[in-house]
Structure formats: structure tokens, C-alpha cells
Amino acid sequence: MAIPDYQAIMLPLLRFSQDNEEHSIRQVYDHISQLFGLSEAERSELLPSGQQPIVENRVGWSRTYLMKAGLLESTRRGHFRVTDAGLELLSRSPSTIDLAVLRQYRSFVEFQKIRRDDDTARSEGEEEPSSSRTPQELLEDGYQRIRKDLTQEILTLVKQCSPRFFERLVVELLLEMGYGGSRLDAGEAIGRTGDGGIDGIIKEDKLGLDVIYIQAKRWEANVGSSEIRNFVGSLVGHNATKGVFLTTSDFSRDAREFARTIGHNVILVDGHMLASLMIDHDVGVSTVDKYEVKKIDTDYFLEE
């Protein structure tokens, strides 16, 4: 039997989760393969890149779209559960679930608006190739869409982790970005009682000629100017001039303005910037595919 497309997988996937229990994505791979009677060769068939089985890729996209519509929710890394909206849809005994059905949900419509240009949407919800755009531009657009989706998934997972894990993640990221010191040095500075609002300390260079103080807030609400003032006060108390304030949410306009006008060097990193830095420095992510875009070397073809 042919490997089903990602839309054909949506209804079986949602039905699989209707027991309202937490399930892993690995369980779904096996369930879909058995349900559609896939042979071992079909289960092992890879994408053209050779990096991932086709069925796992399609199951992954099916789950992502159901989550974007609010029919499934992430519980922890690689695990999910059906939502009330998902159960309500199943109670109507739908014969199929596809993109047209998902467009009945506002969250999915908003998701699609972000992912496509207003003038390139087809009735199926996919982008239509445009003769006014080069293949390289289309490739770049595709990369940016994948990166934007990955950013959202990273933020969802980071917000679910414990505060202590988040603080360690922040130090790990700064170390991967090239700041000095060791994980042991930084780890010992995290979570000290009476730290005056400082979550961590990391050396600015490998010799430790200066240090950077860190505060990390795993928040949903925006960080206001009062929190930044308190952080700056903590820096003064430590006789420090450099600090990084990170959050999974965002900063208010007053907070950003205050950080720009004070004499201390304080960098604000919001949730989207945090996720972007994690992607750039391979923290919590791994490379699935890699494409090289090449052009003609005109010098090579010059004949003397």
C-alpha cells in the first residue's frame, strides 16, 4: 500500500489520541504504519535528502497542523494530547480531516496567514509558485517558514521546562556563543540564595577578565521596566557593568527604553530572539537537511 499523504493521516492520528491520554510521536509512527498496512520497505523509504523516513515526515507534519488548529497540544518533548476542540470534532464523526477542515479554526487560519503571501494562496492552502520569483527566492522563503515554525516549537518547549532547566539552557547558549569559562563555572553561579536577582554569571572571555551577569525569566507576561530596574540595581550591588536579561516572552516598550538609556550595558533578549539564537548555535536542535546553493564560477571558464 502506498504511503499516505499527511492530510490522510490527520483523522487517524486524531482518533488515535481520543482516549485523552498522553502519546508519543513514536507510537503514532507505528500506529499509522500498521493502520495503512505499510511494508518494512515502505516504512524505511527515505526522503530525497536521505535523512528521514517519508512516513515519519508526513506524520510529523500532520501532527504539527493539528496542533496549529488547536486539536492537539504538546505536553512535553515528543509527546502530545488531544484537546477539547479535538474531541468535539471527533464527536461529529467527520469522514476526513484535511486543510479545508482545519481552516474552520481561527488559530490555523492565523498560522497560514503568517506562512504565506496574500497573493500566492491557492484554494488548497498551499503556496503557488510565482513566475516573478526565482527558485532561490522560493528556497529562501521555504527555509524561513521552516525556521519560523521551529522557533515557535522551541518556545513552546522552553516554556514547559522547569525554571532551573531554563537557567542552565541560557548559560549553555551563551557558552556556545563563544563566551568564556566552563559549564562548571557557570553552573555553580546559578540559583544561589540571596543572589540579589542574579540567576547566573558567565565570563566574557576565556581568561575571565570580565564577567557578565544573567537573569532569565520563563514568563508568559511581558517583562516591565521595574524588573529591568531591579536587575540593574543587582548589577550595581555586584559592582558590575554588563548584564543579559532573557525571557521567553517579550519586554514592554518602557523596559526597552530604560535599557537603552541607562549607563550600564544591559542586553535584552526576548523569546523569539532566544529561540533564534538557539537555532543558530545548535542548542536544543539538530540538523535534518542541508542544501548548498551554488553559482557558476565565471573565472574558471576564462580561456587565456
User: What pTM was estimated for this model as a whole?
Assistant: 0.62
For residue 132, the model assigns a pLDDT of 38
For residue 178, the model assigns a pLDDT of 85
Question: Cα 150 from chain centroid?
Answer: 3
For residue 205, the model assigns a pLDDT of 74
Domain over 6-122 is classified CATH 3.40.50 = no
For residue 264, the model assigns a pLDDT of 74
CATH class of 163-280: alpha beta
For residue 259, the model assigns a pLDDT of 93
Boundaries of CATH 1.10.10 in the chain? 6-122
Give the residue ranges of the chain where pLDDT is below 50.
Answer: 117-133, 187-188, 190-191, 193-195
For residue 246, the model assigns a pLDDT of 93
For residue 85, the model assigns a pLDDT of 97
Longest dimension (CA), the chain: 76
For residue 73, the model assigns a pLDDT of 95
The Cα–Cα gap between 177 and 277 comes to: 8
For residue 43, the model assigns a pLDDT of 95
For residue 183, the model assigns a pLDDT of 63
pLDDT tens, residue by residue, 131-168: 334 555 567 778 888 889 999 999 999 998 888 888 78
Boundaries of CATH 3.40.1350.10 in the chain? 163-280
For residue 125, the model assigns a pLDDT of 38
